[in-house]
Chains A and B, each alone.
Chain A
């Protein structure tokens, strides 16, 4: 048995990135999008207890795709970070930007220092006083941060979902319209509609007092889905390619290398370390 004594940094980074991407792509997608009164999070999730979408602070929400164990650890860290900052200073002094930077440092350190990178992609969203104050940050496994506008799709078949969402997304949609767009984007073409028991839906509602984060569950979710079905026909995929999302507008990452294209790869404005590569077996551990 021979042991390689030297692995070029480039090679090891590339291997880690491939590994992380594969893990993330095995899960299911999560969609985050702005609507008139806030930011909506939608994710197919068969579990009602293991959340992919969570509250971090008054105006800040969190959504994740990939390995549950890993993003749950990140979520806990984020809550601690936010609570201790809010307690040390003031509640207004906890910002989405601060939290995104905190996560970026953390993910970056884990990616470079540990042999196994985190197989997660997360979104940190902060709702503002008005739509112009909304912030959505997408963070990938290597700590890259992308400041997104309008909508984000990540995990699973992220490209396909983002494509469908782009066709349906408009600025200042109502909540039912936004929910309809998100559910349609998450549903495969000619596929069955996702039942409400398999959907996790939450929003940051800027009209709420104190804590803006609210989950839609049970009867309230049913009602919201009913309303969204009523709102849906008005905005079928009519005109293609709205200028909505800036970061998400490019269909695929210009990776610079002729890598074979896997079925799903994260679209990157700034591609994370290494090229997208197809590998054989995936990693262990459950993903959501």
Chain B
């Protein structure tokens, strides 16, 4: 039924036309179209080798997200590890998925990158086909389905878990959704973190997060929490001052997705580092 997409452009038209022979249930989902046309392109549809592959493959770690006034901030460290080795110092694991949403990934890096790419196309494809953006819930649900599709691979060690953030224009607020290997979405209130350092980052955010904090404050809190995660988790990278590798920070508001430039992040990192020179454990919360 489904022919193999070889990129050559042969035998295209029938498959691409809407009421074509194998476009029976017409949806505006790119993933559904790929599944019918070239299923091998989809992650989670490939035959897996027996046994777990877990530790030999680079893993991405801590992602944090927190709501701010009129939007949401997402940030991630830059380290990828395979077992006890640092596989990459400057990996990027926060992705813009459309103008008003972004995702960070934890788990197997390659799967995460592929998932983020597919998901970005999925959102854009719907928007172009239907002439409107998906609702925030629609986006979150769609991602859950894609994660669930990866369950078989996850059971063999190829785990990938996203953290999804979006600006909701109906509420004029940022929203955060997290997932587990079997899907989701689970909406988080205020803030959330995923990945191996998430335990420490979440503890840190618990003390630093204030409802309705400004985007600038939220960015600083995110960097503080990533520092705390890197402090206690060997798989999370801290700011690399000598190589000038900084966390990836992005903010999504009514104006859309904006990734902070290296200079902006560096200034924030410097504030954190200056504070920690005097107090290595970072800011303290009032006891009562």
Check B118 against A87 for contact (C-beta < 8 Å). yes
Q: Which one of A16-24, A102-110, A152-160, A222-230 is at the B interface?
A: A102-110
**What residue of chain A has the Cβ atom nearest to residue B125's Cβ?**
A83
Other A-B contacts than A80-B30, A81-B12, 13 sampled, CB-CB below 8 A, are A73-B17, A73-B19, A76-B17, A79-B128, A80-B16, A83-B124, A83-B128, A84-B30, A84-B33, A84-B41, A87-B121, A88-B5, A210-B96
Chain B residues in the interface with A (C-beta under 8 A): 5, 7, 9, 12-13, 15-19, 30, 33-34, 37-38, 41, 96, 99, 117-118, 121, 124-125, 128-129, 131
| A77 adjacent to chain B (CB < 8 Å) | yes
| A55 adjacent to chain B (CB < 8 Å) | yes
| A51 adjacent to chain B (CB < 8 Å) | yes
Cα–Cα distance between A87 and B120 once the two chains are bound (Å): 10
Interchain Cβ contacts within 8 Å, total number: 66
| A–B complex contacts, Cβ < 8 Å, 10 sampled | A56-B128, A77-B16, A77-B18, A79-B129, A84-B5, A87-B117, A87-B118, A88-B5, A88-B38, A105-B13
Min CB–CB distance A281 → chain B (angstroms)? 27
Which residues of B sit under 8 angstroms from A51, Cβ to Cβ?
131
Classify chain A's interface size: 20 to 34
Interface residues of A in 94-118 (CB under 8 A from B): 98, 101-102, 105-106, 109
Min CB–CB distance B192 → chain A (angstroms)? 26
**Interface of B: prevailing SS:** helix
Check A81 against B121 for contact (C-beta < 8 Å). no
Cα–Cα distance between A81 and B12 once the two chains are bound (Å): 8
Cα–Cα distance between A72 and B37 once the two chains are bound (Å): 20
Min CB–CB distance B17 → chain A (angstroms)? 5
Min CB–CB distance A62 → chain B (angstroms)? 10
Check B41 against A87 for contact (C-beta < 8 Å). yes
Which residues of A sit under 8 angstroms from B17, Cβ to Cβ?
73, 76-77, 106
**What residue of chain B has the Cβ atom nearest to residue A88's Cβ?**
B7
Min CB–CB distance A76 → chain B (angstroms)? 5
Cα–Cα distance between A106 and B124 once the two chains are bound (Å): 24
Which residues of B sit under 8 angstroms from A210, Cβ to Cβ?
96, 99
Contact A83-B121, Cβ < 8 Å, known A54-B128, A77-B16, A102-B12: yes
